[in-house]
Every structure is written in C-alpha cells, then in structure tokens.
Amino acid sequence: MGNQPKTQGKQKTNPIVWFLFAIVIPVIVAITLAIIIFTLAGVNVIDWVKNTGNNIPVISSFVTTDEEKNLQQTEEKMKAALEKKDEKIEELTQNVNDLEATIDKMEQEKLKLENRTTSDELDGSTTEQESENDTVKTISSSFKEMDPKQAALIFQKLDSDMAISILKELSNKARGKIIAEMDPETAAKLTKMFINSD
C-alpha cells in the first residue's frame, strides 16, 4: 500500500505536449530572436529567406522572387502585345479583302465597258460612247469620295487604260491626292500615259 502514492504522483506526460514545449516553442522563439537580431544588424532577412527558399525544391513553388515577378509581368506584356498585333493583322486582312472586292467590281465594269466599246465599233453609234463616259464618270465620282490611299491601291491594280480614263474625270485636287499615295514607279507610269493621252 505504500507504493500506491508514488505511482499516482508519477503521471505520464503526453508525448505531444512534451514535444511542443521542449522543441517547437523554443525553436519558434529562437527563430524570432534571430530575425530581430539580424534585422537590427542591417541584414535583409526577407530577401535572404526568399532566395534560400527559392532553392529548396518543395518550398520554391510557394516563394516568388522579384525576378520571377518581373519575368511574369514581362510575359503578360508580351501576350498583350501579341493580341494587339493579331487584332491589327485581322483588321488589315479585312481591309485587303475589301479592296480586292472593289477591284473585282472595277474589273467587271471594265469588261462591261470593253463590251460596249466593241458594240460601238460595230454599231457606230455615239449613244453607247456617252453611256460609257457616264459609267466612267460614275466610277470616278466614287473615287472622289474614297480615301486617297485606298484609291491609290485600286488604281495600281487596274488596267492602265481604265486608270487613265478614270483619272481624266477626276478633279486636279483628287487626282493629285491619289497619285501622291501611289507607288512612285506606278505614279510615274500613269502620269506619263495621262500626259500622252491628251
């Protein structure tokens, strides 16, 4: 009976509580004191922890360094620039398609005019010639309202005779703006033909 009080006084401590008070809390206190001391000494502890943590395989996925942030920002800027370029390419492609449709329309008008010219030669009537001139005037009025740059692109793809016929119907100001937007070689060729046609 005398042994019973000794066993009751010696209670077993929980190993988790022992581990917490003997190891975890002292380690946390030691790390906190080390951070405070190094910070007071002028060492940038946060950057050191980031750089060191970035070299540890598992922890590196949770730590983001300044270089990685800069790289990520640069990547986002590049993606935004690529998206803008893609939009511009789509816009230019649409513009080219519109111009090609206009050229096709002009070529059809040209064929109609050529057919009328051959029928004029056979008939010898001047009314057909007048309607051809009316068509050329109608087409030239379309070019007056058009952007000079787009008109220049269309003129460069037209047959030279057709281009000269339309240029004759344009005002000097409109003609000058369109020729100014053309490729220099094409502009020189059309100007020479325009002068020789008068």
Dist. CA 77–CA 74, nearest whole Å: 5
Report how far residue 57's alpha carbon sits from residue 180's, in angstroms, rounded to the nearest whole number: 64
pLDDT of residue 1: 45
Cα Rg of the chain (Å, integer): 43
- Residue 10 has what pLDDT? 56
Give the length of the chain.
198
Sequence-distant (≥ 6) Cβ neighbours of residue 169 within 8 angstroms? 136, 137, 139, 140, 141
173: helix, strand or coil: helix
Per-residue pLDDT of the chain (198 residues), as tens digits, is 445 555 455 567 788 888 888 888 899 999 899 888 888 888 888 778 777 777 777 666 666 666 777 888 899 999 999 999 999 999 999 999 998 999 998 889 888 888 887 776 666 555 556 666 677 777 777 777 788 888 888 888 888 888 888 888 888 888 888 888 888 888 888 888 888 876
- Residue 139 · residue 166 · CB < 8 Å: yes
Report d(CA 67, CA 75) in Å as an integer: 12
Contact predicate 179/152, CB 8 Å: yes
3-state secondary structure 59-97: HHHCCCCHHHHHHHHHHHHHHHHHHHHHHHHHHHHHHHH
According to the model, what pLDDT value does residue 85 have?
A: 94
Helix (H, G, I), strand (E, B) or coil at 198: coil
